[in-house]
Amino acid sequence: MSNLSDYLLSKIEHVLLRQGWISEGRMDAFTFAVQCHADVSSIETEIKERDALMAELLADFPKNGPMSPGASPRIYREAYLAGLREALALIQGMSANN
């Protein structure tokens, strides 16, 4: 048994889950970049498509939907997009140096 109060335990669990969703989104983004052989065009297309999907979901469900702030799908998607953008920047930076 834990000595933590139920409230504190709930907060800790949420923070841990949130970090997991972020890690998963970023890992999936870098995996995508590897699977498409670091093709800049493919990554840019993926970013555009995912941005459009998020905008569509936000428009369809402005409140209490999967893209509402703090919702796990939004946390994951934002991390995925951030990871794609980071992968793109790494690829472009390395390509410019060669």
Name residues whose C-beta falls within 8 Å of residue 88's C-beta, 6 or more positions apart in sequence. 33, 40, 43, 44, 47
Taking only the tens of pLDDT, the chain with its 98 residues reads 567 899 999 999 999 999 999 999 999 999 999 999 999 999 999 999 999 999 998 888 878 888 888 899 999 999 999 999 999 999 999 999 87
Write down the pTM of the prediction.
Answer: 0.90
Question: Given this model, what pLDDT does residue 2 score?
Answer: 64
Residue ranges per structural domain of the chain = 6-93
